[in-house]
Amino acid sequence: MRKKGRVSAFALILILALICAILLITAAAVDNQRTYNREKAVTPTPSITPRTVRITEAPGQPTLSPTPRLLQVNSVGLEVKELQERLRELGYYSGDVDGQYGGGTRTAVQAFQSQHGLDADGIAGESTLNLLYSAGAQRFVATPTPSPTPETAAMLTSGSQGEQVKKLQQRLADLGFYTGKVDGDYGKGTRQAVTVFQSQHGLDADGIAGEKTLKLLYSDQAKKVVVTPTPEAIQVLSGNLPLLVNKEHPIDANFVPAGLVDMSKYCDSSLVKIKYQGTQGVREAVDALVEMLQAAKKDGVTNWQVSAAYRSVKDQQSIFDSNVKSYMNNNGLSKEKAVSATRKTVADPGTSEHHTGLAFDMTVPGTSAFLGTKQCTWLHAHCWDYGFVIRYQKDKEDITGFLAEAWHIRYVGKEHSKVMQERNLCLEEYLELAK
């Protein structure tokens, strides 16, 4: 939003005072978010506020939600690294993935923006980042040099053949509209490509390459194809969706997941330490975990521990009850007050994801803080490739109802986790889209 015209100094001071008041109130509200359910029991207690590494916050800004994302020249850090990696993956960037937003990164961002019809300012703001990490992000296409209009071509249409059609197909292919053979036959594919070119250039989309179409096509005004992102990828997958367990969707008290294995016997202890003897997890998820940690080992990241996995509703109930009791006996609280105090740190029985046997709390043996470790960084970057998601993220606290937990991963299956990562969707959002 931009303010037009002049604002008197007095009004400006008033507005500033108002903004300060809002910031103070918001800061207080953020503190109150500590009243969210927190998993307790065997969950490690980080020494610092849990915050996932995928979040960007402008330095010095209060923790407001949603946090505006803006990366530009002189930005540094993990978010920049991720940006560079993504740009590299798509072919826009060939420099070092060093987390430093320099001239090369800016040029790559500009190229991405201009290819996607965005303002090519070289600043990775919210719309650029959203598109970049979405399924709609296209690979880099080198700008084709404009070629002169072939003199003899006046009109090409279905059934046309020869050199002029070949040139037409080649030009359409260079711009990304045509993916068929450059064979000089004006068939269905060529007509379709011409139609899409026309509609994206404000021409009559009749599929006939007439004078106007050809002139524009061979000029430097010809733009590359724009592929519109569609939510279809999610709909295709809606047959076998991940299980949702949260406050609104508690699990049945008698639910026991199928295929539980004893992780302390099942897993190679040199790969991962299981903190508590007899900890169980669903076999498919444990297999995925092992596969993931083997990959981590190849990357030189070892020394992993699982502090929690499957927990029955009964177990959760007794943890909950003993907390309530302790508040009543030791702090002299009424039952009602003891329950609400307990809810600040212990999930209501039935609402913990650990009931599914598909969630694991990942830690480093001997340390209480997971955030900031190299294991944490690796996990947040790669777990998606093995079917896991970082279930409770900072920017999704309002939706999940849980404070961010850097250590808690949830197995959903590769086909889902990859889409969730690409589109930055938490499970609630993902399932909403898949409906």
The residues that touch Zn ion, with contacts defined as CB under 5 A, are: 39, 361, 408
Size of the chain, expressed as the number of residues it contains: 435
Cα(164)–Cα(181) distance, rounded to whole angstroms? 14
Nearest-approach distance from CB 326 to Zn ion, in angstroms:
22
Please state the closest distance from residue 39 (CB atom) to Zn ion, in A: 5
CB 344 within 8 A of CB 38: yes
CA atoms within 13 A on the CB side of 353: 28
* 307 SS3 class: strand
Strand order in the sheet with 405-411: 272-274, 304-308, 359-363, 405-411, 388-392
Start-end of H helices in 62-180: 78-89, 103-115, 126-132, 163-174
Of 67 and 367, nearer to Zn ion (C-beta) is: 367
Between 48 and 142, whose beta carbon lies closer to Zn ion?
48
Closest approach of Cβ 260 to Zn ion, in Å?
A: 17
- Residue closer to Zn ion (CB basis): 176 or 387: 387
CB of 55 to Zn ion, least distance (A): 19
| CA 407 vs CA 22, 142, 235, 307: distances in Å | 32, 41, 30, 10
- Least gap, CB of 393 to Zn ion (angstroms): 13
Which three-class secondary structure state does DSSP give residue 360?
strand
Residue 292's nearest CA partner among 360, 374, 386 is 386
Distance of CA 346 to the CA centre of its chain: 27
CB of 359 to Zn ion, least distance (A): 5
- Nearest-5° Cα angle at 105, 101 to 111: 145
Cα distances (angstroms) measured from residue 251 to each of 283, 286, 353, 359: 20, 21, 9, 14
SS3 content of the chain, % helix, strand, coil (to 5): 45, 10, 50
Q: Looking at beta carbons only, is 83 or 376 nearer to Zn ion?
A: 376
Burial class (CB in 10 A: 0-12, 13-18, 19+), 50: buried
Neighbours of 175 (CB within 10 A): 19
Q: From start to end of 188-242, where are the E strands? A: none
Q: What's the closest the beta carbon of residue 398 comes to Zn ion, in angstroms?
A: 19
Nearer Cβ to Zn ion (101/392): 392
Q: Nearest distance from residue 54's CB to Zn ion, in Å?
A: 18
> Nearest residue by C-beta to Zn ion?
408
Residues in Cβ contact with 220 at an 8 Å cutoff, skipping those fewer than 6 apart? 146
Q: What are φ and ψ of residue 11, in 5° steps?
A: -60, -40
Which among 336, 285, 341, 329 has a CA at the least distance from the CA of 309?
A: 285
Other C-beta atoms within 10 Å of 20: how many?
Answer: 10
